Homo-oligomer: A and B are copies of this chain.
């Protein structure tokens, strides 16, 4: 799913200069543009254009025609009842922490732009999420907001065994003499003083002094076999990447590199151009003199030395495999005959009366109908929802992505070894601007997102959208001979899209009038293919050349901390079972079914495969409802989901022990806030967070529960994945839905329904419950999408922070 990690953000001019090997931070931070010379002077202007273009009070609704819909504005601001203690640090807090860190001589930090492989740098400055204990004391009681602390990660590269250092810096604001740093360890299962080894500290050395030298040594062979060469020069015609994660067996650090072709023109199709030549090296330690080249692989023949490989290549019976070259099959633009009726504008969604929800733009606090929640955003996993209340009661303390695995398998070592744990790259930095009218309806309300990198706070404009829509089917209906009753199904969605290298993940949280909440992921973008030679057992051949749609599993882990009428909850498993019963009224035994109702007792039973005959509900057994049943919310898969096919993956070892099941239940602890760590890939045998360690037999009845569920897809790409996978079947979703939670269906509250009485051939009465019809017209021109103003990736504020320049304020674009 990922792949070309350090390529995707580079500009074409830089790519021509062979930047792919020049940005060690890319692999680590997944951020690129910052080293380029984006003209700072242009930014205010762009920002202004943007503000003109998509202000919430702007335009798809408002029209200068008679009878146009009243512009009630796209949203009404509203104040959050409490501070958003989850959202993140302010720009000023970040700048203060950065200043404070540089002022600590014991940290020996170097500004990133000036750093070599042997300098210490700041990798991350973010809000350290408050402990749930402290957060609830504030949210539900009279306590002040939890003390704010920064979560800092340093890259300590000045030593022989480089590592990442997780620190707590606080309290904030950072003030010399008051604020201190301490190792961050308590939220990780590995107790190592907040240290994780860094296998990428010598990234630049590896590429320039090792990989390029090897690939240059066979330039004549690669020109012949795979149509180009990679020598580390600006004229390279091939790309070379290393596998992720490294082989870490027996204490060694081993890399496999693979050659890829460059796409033609503008398209990002490099992951469709694998060339089938691989080489292995042991790069353990920091001394290149100790590194060892270990062989070539071509057409499933392993050559231990370059000499051996060269001799084989020179022999007359050497067998060559086809070269993959780019073509229209890898390009996403319109192709093929235009269908005549396709040219006309298709049906579209409009919002005649503007938004029917409110947003506190500073607090990222959202209210839609009887739902309300806070939004947060972080580097590792992007957007989370917090303190989701429904009809005034909290139902979710936290809901958000934890980690996304893309695990491949193949006959070759590169794809076989690939098991991307995408939070390493981070979802936050790759949550790009959404395309209005395409990614989200044209009337959507947008929020910006920010993330830290290289002493700056960086903002993606319009990277979260919020909108209502009508899914073209009703929520409820019933017909009789006398009347029909139908209710519109208006769904409220919060969405962002993160493109991690080749793949685009769309995350949507969907709220329904019946009290249900859906968590929905779709995937599009480029597959990471492999060379089809010898890979018939691992994928389909999908081009006329030698591209295999390399099989892989996506497993995407989420945390769902449900709180049903308080934190003390229990999971009920209600199973429909076949049975043979004899009743008071039956003489013979009858084959029928009944319910088995069980409570989940301990974490020993907390790992679950979805059973289609079982219903899983989080209930509160201390709050029996007026009918004698337990109120709760049910969780169920609503599209296909996936856990990992592979058992005990050699690539992953202990780095992702949440992949084994569909749904996992643990007791909540402030010490177990996340199922993964972004650097688990750096030490797969002994990672900072081993999810397996969460399971220690704790009692799960009437205690604070956390659900960890996996979405995902088993993906065996076929020709229809060229040029891009489409969202149609690359889809996974769960829903949580009220279960004996209220006395009746909550959607009866909506006025967006109609009852029509009829009889004798006439409609006698139409009841519409006080809906206000919008007697008006709406503009529907797609030109109003204003795509000319799409910026992709802008707004940079440099360290040190200049609070006197308002253009650099990150936040709500409408402000």
Contacts and interface: CB of A to CB of B under 8 A. Distances in A.
Given A638-B639, A720-B742, A508 B473 contact: yes
A10 B759 CA distance: 9
Interface stretch (A95-103, A342-350, A556-564): A342-350
B762 A791 contact: yes
B471 A472 contact: yes
A638 B731 contact: yes
A42 to B, nearest CB: 5
B756 A435 contact: yes
Interface in A722-774: 722-729, 731, 735, 737-763, 766-774
A588 interface: yes
B332 A755 contact: yes
Interface stretch (A61-69, A82-90, A152-160): A61-69
A720 B769 contact: no
A524 B470 contact: no
Interface in A541-563: 541-544, 551, 553
A220 interface: no
A383 interface: no
A773 B787 CA distance: 13
Contacts of A337: 749
Contact of A591 (B72, B339, B650, B777): B650
B476 A524 contact: yes
A646 B584 contact: no
Most buried by B among A525, A639, A723, A760: A760
A283 interface: no
Interface string A638-657: 11111001111110000000
Interface stretch (A110-118, A479-487, A680-688): A479-487
Interface in A43-89: 43, 46, 63, 65-69, 72
A42 B769 CA distance: 29
Contacts of A516: 728-729
Interface in A786-801: 787-794
A341 B329 contact: no
A748 B335 contact: yes
A539 B574 CA distance: 10
Contacts of A479: 8, 432, 497, 499, 504, 525, 792
A446 B573 CA distance: 44
B726 A475 contact: yes
A632 B634 CA distance: 37
A615 B486 contact: no
A729 B11 contact: no
Contact of A759 (B12, B438, B720): B12
A438 B486 contact: yes
Contact of A773 (B345, B416, B470, B649): B345
A433 B757 CA distance: 13
Copies in the complex: 2
Contacts of A333: 485, 748, 753, 755, 767, 769
B741 A719 contact: yes
Contact of A541 (B467, B502, B627, B763): B627
Nearest to A348: B470
Contact of A760 (B39, B577, B744, B761): B39
Nearest to A280: B585
A439 interface: yes
Most chain B CB neighbours (cut-off 10 Å) among A337, A524, A542, A775: A524
A12 to B, nearest CB: 6
A750 B629 contact: no
B716 A748 contact: no
B744 A720 contact: yes
A69 B344 CA distance: 11
Nearest to A542: B627
Contact of A490 (B63, B346, B578, B721): B346
Nearest to A430: B479
Contacts of A540: 627, 629, 740
Interface in A485-506: 485-490, 493, 497, 499, 502, 504, 506
Contacts of A483: 266, 268
A542 to B, nearest CB: 6
A168 B780 CA distance: 54
Interface stretch (A196-204, A224-232, A295-303, A312-320): A295-303
Interface stretch (A184-192, A209-217, A374-382, A592-600): A592-600
A776 B63 CA distance: 10
Given A763-B790, A791-B761, A592 B724 contact: no
Contacts of A353: 344-346
A766 B791 contact: no
B63 A777 contact: yes
A714 B615 CA distance: 9
Given A343-B751, A439-B477, A543-B627, A612 B778 contact: no
B280 A435 contact: no
B347 A794 contact: no
A748 B721 CA distance: 11
A163 interface: no
Contacts of A508: 473
Contacts of A32: 481
B777 A779 contact: yes
A632 to B, nearest CB: 9
A806 interface: no
Contacts of A793: 481, 758
A754 to B, nearest CB: 6
Given A490-B347, A594-B537, A761-B794, A737 B729 contact: yes
A484 B345 contact: no
Q: Which one of A249, A349, A551 has the highest number of Cβ atoms from chain B below 10 Å of its Cβ? A: A349
A440 B334 contact: no
Nearest to A721: B745
A336 B774 contact: no
A613 B647 CA distance: 13
A502 B478 CA distance: 8
Interface in A276-308: 278, 280, 295, 297, 300-302
B775 A777 contact: no
A141 interface: no
A107 interface: no
A413 B336 CA distance: 62
B468 A469 contact: no
A38 interface: yes
Contacts of A246: none
Contacts of A636: 640, 729
Contacts of A33: 481
Nearest to A784: B773
A350 B759 CA distance: 31
A142 interface: no
Interface in A392-441: 409, 411-413, 416, 432-433, 435, 438-441
Given A11-B760, A627-B543, A443 B728 contact: no
Nearest to A614: B714
B493 A480 contact: no
Q: Which 3 A-B pairs have the closest CB atoms?
A: A9-B481, A777-B777, A438-B486
Given A38-B761, A343-B771, A719-B744, 14 more contacts: A8-B480, A63-B67, A329-B743, A335-B748, A347-B352, A416-B590, A471-B471, A477-B727, A541-B627, A544-B626, A577-B645, A636-B640, A729-B735, A758-B793
5 contacts: A38-B760, A335-B749, A471-B471, A485-B724, A766-B787
